[in-house]
Amino acid sequence: MGLADLWGHHWAGILLAALLLTMWSPPAAVQFTLDATPLTTTQGEKDVVPSRSGTPWAPQTRGRSRDVELPGRPTISISPDTAIEQREQVTLYCNTKDANVTIHWFSNDLPLVFHERMLLSTDGKKLTILTVQQEDSATYKCKAQGFYQVQSSDPTFLTVNYGPDPFEIKLDSGVSSGEVVEVIEGSSVTFSVETPSHPPPAYSWFLNNNVTLSSTTRTFTIQAVSTEHEGTYRCLVSNRATHLLRLGALEVRVLEMLTKPNIVSPSLNLVENASSVTLTCQTSHKGAGVLWFLRGQALLPSKHLVLSADNRSLVIHGLQRDDTGPYECEVWNWGSQARSKPLTLTISYGPDRVDITRGAASGVVSTIKAELNSSLTLQCQAESQPGAKFHWTLEHSTTVYMGKHLIIGALTWEDQGIYNCTASNPLTHLARSASVLVRVVGPRSSLSARVIAGIALGILTVIALSTGLGYFLYNRNARR
């Protein structure tokens, strides 16, 4: 082959190689594409504009990236690295020596999501947080992506100081106390404050604006509450970095440990159908509530049982015999209660209807037939409180027999007649009566005992008169 032929083949090879290089493209596995990964950019791109959704629009590349190897890892500079929430702006810059790279930003090892408070430079290297918030406090990294490799910077931390936020003083139970809280005398109670803050805040507790309490932590404990602990507690929370102060207040009322009340009745001599009677729940605890109980159950007010406005008095209108009770009153407050001893009323009534029975028999009688010379017992009974007093009388006789029972040992004809029993109550000043007819039956003699006695008395009288007349005549004749 001649020299000309060799030279022709040489240029043909060069042309073929150039053609192959022009047509060749890298495999899909190593091709670089701009996807939706947040906050990525390549130098020479157009400016990146944030979208409303929080993810930046993907930048468009003007030309193909060159095949480069990164000369070294990128570094991050941050200014300032400690900022105050809602007051300061922070700038992060990703330093890399190579120009033709794509920058990716990460927060706490996750792709950073762009939002309206962030601005990104056109080359993606400068990230600006316009007004920092608590959630911006994180570890940041940037990654520089070349054609063949991706290199990451060391992490850098952004510290955001914030707080304290507004707060309420709470009880140890965790329930918000509101403006006023009541605690029981002698109990232990812990008040606490919780508010987000960085760095941790300082605490100062005050009582009634002028007494500084010893506690300098977020909790304050009263071991044994007494009346001297009553007042308004305030907690001042301060942050030395943000220079913010927050003040919370809570009013504390101390409730006395309740003691048993007493029920007072105005009179011990209560009479049925009296106009009214008032029972008073006597207690020294002025702020305590009062409840009433009748026969162990909560008392239900009515026209007959009327409670006063403060529940401390119970008025019973038209007192009846079944209003005896027992009655109890209970004083209570937020954390304790105490109940009185039961009070049973003694109500005088009666006597009601009077009944007469023969002996202990239960049947009421109005007429009794009894054998001559037999014994007879009459019993009088009447319902009454206190027990009634009884007395008996027989018609056409002035004799009065006292007691519930009338006993006749041997009946005679003179014992028959109408017997009347009267029951009386000295407290109610009431009296009621009932009567029974007693008939004596048996054989009668021709002359009654009274007739015989009359005849005998007449004979004795005649004899006495005759003797006296004879003696008189004898003395008269003797004188002559």
Q: Which residue, among 390, 394, 401, 400, has the nearest Cα to 420 in the 3D structure?
A: 394
pLDDT range class, residue 28, cuts 50, 70, 90: very low
Evaluate if residue 328 carries a pLDDT over 60: yes
The residue behind tokens 């009541």 is 182
Among the listed residues 334, 180, 178, 190, the one whose alpha carbon sits nearest the alpha carbon of residue 253: 180
* Whether pLDDT at 465 is above 70: no
Q: Which of 248, 131, 250, 135 is nearest to 195 (CA)?
A: 248
- From the CA atom positions of the chain, what is the Rg in Å? 59
DSSP-based three-state secondary structure for 104: strand
What per-residue confidence (pLDDT) applies to 455? 61
Number of helical H runs and strand E runs in the chain: 2, 37
Please report the pLDDT score of residue 424 as a whole number: 94
Residue 378: band (very low, low, confident or very high) from pLDDT cuts 50, 70, 90: very high
State the average pLDDT for the chain. 80
With 70 as the cut, is the pLDDT of residue 6 above it? no
Give strand pairing partners of 206: 212, 234
Q: Is residue 98 classed as helix, strand or coil in its secondary structure?
A: coil
CB atoms within 10 A of CB 460: 10
240 is written with which tokens? 């030395």
Average pLDDT over residues 6-31: 36
- Tokens for 69? 């190897």
Element (H, E) at 338: strand 337-339
CB 123 within 8 A of CB 43: yes
Contact 114, 134 (CB under 8 A): no
User: Can you tell me the distance from the alpha carbon of 264 to that of 260, in angstroms, rounded to the nearest whole number?
Assistant: 13
Helix H or strand E encompassing 467: helix 449-479
pLDDT winner (highest mean) among 66-75, 120-129, 163-172, 181-190: 120-129
Query: Residue 290 phi/psi, 5° resolution?
Result: -130, 135
Per the model's pLDDT, the better-predicted residue between 104 and 284 turns out to be: 104
Check whether 130 has a pLDDT greater than 90. Answer: yes
Quick check: 60 pLDDT over 60? no
Q: What is the reported pLDDT for 52?
A: 33
Residue 478 parent element (H or E):
helix 449-479
Q: Which of 331, 169, 320, 356 is nearest to 262 (CA)?
A: 331
Q: Mean pLDDT throughout 90-95?
A: 96
User: Model confidence over 232-274: pLDDT tens digits?
Assistant: 999 999 999 999 999 999 998 888 888 899 999 877 788 998 7
Q: What is the pLDDT of residue 475?
A: 64
- Short-list 376, 373, 353, 478, CA closest to 437: 376
Q: What is the mean pLDDT of residues 179-206?
A: 89
Pairing between β-strand 262-264 and β-strand 276-282 as defined by DSSP bridges: antiparallel
CB neighbours of residue 20 within 10 Å: 9
Question: Using an 8 Å Cβ cutoff, are 161 and 83 in contact?
Answer: yes
pLDDT digits (tens, 9 = 90+) for 396-441: 888 888 999 999 999 899 888 999 999 999 998 999 999 999 999 9
For 102-124, write each residue's pLDDT tens digit.
999 999 999 999 999 999 999 99
Confidence check: pLDDT of 389 > 60: yes
**Residue whose C-alpha is closest to residue 70's, from 96, 90, 33:** 96
Distance from C-alpha of 180 to C-alpha of 230, rounded to nearest angstrom: 11
Predicted local confidence at residue 71, as pLDDT: 63
Q: Provide the pLDDT for residue 471.
A: 59
Q: Which of 144, 125, 145, 123 lies closest to 43, judged by CA? A: 123
Predicted local confidence at residue 445, as pLDDT: 56
Query: In which band, very low, low, confident or very high, does the pLDDT at 462 lie, cut at 50, 70 and 90?
Result: low
Residue type, 340: S
Q: Looking at this protein, which amino acid is placed at residue 88?
A: E
Burial of 22 (0-12, 13-18, 19+ CB in 10 A): exposed
User: Does the structure show a pLDDT above 60 at 25?
Assistant: no
In the chain the domains, ranked by start, together with CATH numbers, are 75-161 (2.60.40.10), 169-255 (2.60.40.10), 262-345 (2.60.40.10), 349-441 (2.60.40.10)
Distance CA 32, CA 99 (A): 16
Choose from 13-17, 297-301, 449-453 the range with maximum mean pLDDT.
297-301
